[in-house]
Amino acid sequence: MIYTGGTIGMKQDPDTLALVPFNFNQIQEEVPELRKFGCTIDSYSFNPVIDSSDVVPSFWIELAEIISINYSKYDGFVVLHGTDTMSYSASALSFMLEDLEKPVVFTGSQLPIGMLRTDGKENLISSIEIAAAQDANGRAMVPEVCIYFESYLYRGNRTTKYNAENFRAFRSANYPVLAEVGIHIKFNTSFIRYPKEWGRPLRVNKGIDTRVGVLKIFPGITPQVMDAVIDTPGIRAVIIETFGSGNAPTSEWFVKSIKRAVGKGLIVLNVTQCQAGSVDMDAYATGVALKKEGVVSGYDSTFEAALTKLFFLLGQSNDNDIVRQRLAHSVKGEISI
């Protein structure tokens, strides 16, 4: 159990009523149920713990290293993480952990674990059960980076935080849940990703290149806004967040800007602003124009997965053409092709 920070590990200071992180070594006191598990649970706490709004790529590397160093000692890992950027971290780790054969289950909560109505206890307890679950051959039931939240287990790189208040905070709109927790834990084995070959050692891909710009398209967007992103010094790629199935304005200046971006060698990756469904640049003339200029499809990727996939692929190669080709394939089940 790796505690990185976030609401789950906080409790109310009885004097000030403010939320403060509790000493994670005392987790057994907060969650006495942990003693009932028939397995050994060790815990590790980041120091300092962080609000997940402060997550940066070096944090992902640290987290991946902790998992890698301890990999052979444990059957699975539960990462306690703030919910705000949990989908980014789970997506990033899915690309960074190569040949993963053990569960890495991210979880957190909307209410601190020390509060009466907390959702944190159930989230934590079920996450541990899932991280420890093995089949008859002693292999992990879910050898993936996933997020467990409020009765559902999701593939991490398919999730988005979509609700800031509800206990059901996450959604995986374009991919089925990997498990449902009720009286029993029902694993949807046909949707879980298994290693092609078991027994390979875990490798950590630490190369992350963050030279990416993001351009959200909106009615009324101006050339100045476009140019500010496209001309950001040093960037190698731009994610354009488009309408519907990957559509954008057809005005001459807009198409010219896109052409200029591609002509400069930038990777322009098209991700839809919609929560569900896929980019299809053949569906409308507006999308066809983008495809013609060399824009790459993000398919049904979440924004979080598209961004971290770019970070990862750019970190693997200095050649943007190679990255463009690799974007068209699923690396860790993040797109449905």
> Which residues are part of the catalytic machinery?
7
DSSP-derived 3-state class of residue 149 = strand
On the question of a cis peptide bond just before residue 223, with omega within 30 degrees of 0, the verdict is: no
The whole-angstrom distance between residue 3's C-alpha and the CA centroid of its chain comes to: 17
- Nearer residue to ligand ASP within complex by CB, 51 or 75: 51
Site string for ligand ASP, 90-109 (x = CB under 6 A): ------------------x-
Spacing of C-alpha 34 from chain mean position: 27
Closest to ligand ASP by CB, 83 vs 94, is 83
Convert residues 27-66 into a mask of x (bound to ligand ASP by CB under 6 A) and - (unbound).
------------------------xxx-------------
Closest CA to 147 of 189, 91, 100, 107: 107
Query: How many whole angstroms separate alpha carbon 107 and alpha carbon 177?
Result: 15
Does 9 interact with ligand ASP (rule: CB under 6 A)? Answer: no
Which position among 1, 2, 3, 7 is part of the footprint of ligand ASP (CB under 6 A)? 7
Shortest distance, position 147 Cβ to ligand ASP, whole Å: 12
Query: What is the Cα 219 distance to its own chain's centre?
Result: 29
DSSP3 helix / strand / coil % (the chain, rounded to 5): 35, 20, 45
Residue 12 is a binding residue for ligand ASP (CB under 6 A) = no
Considering the complex, state which of residue 19 and residue 185 has its C-beta at the smaller distance from ligand ASP: 19
Restricting to residues 100-159, name those near ligand ASP by CB under 6 A: 108
Say whether residue 6 binds ligand ASP (CB under 6 A).
Answer: yes
CB of 22 to ligand ASP, least distance (A): 14
Residue nearest to ligand ASP (CB): 82
C-alpha 274/C-alpha 245 separation (Å) is 8
Q: Between residues 7 and 160, which has the closer beta carbon with respect to ligand ASP?
A: 7
Q: Which helix (H) or strand (E) holds 126?
A: helix 120-132
84 near ligand ASP, judged by CB under 6 A: yes
Q: 267 with 288: CB under 8 angstroms?
A: no
* Residues found near ligand ASP in the complex (CB under 6 A): 5-7, 51-53, 82-84, 108
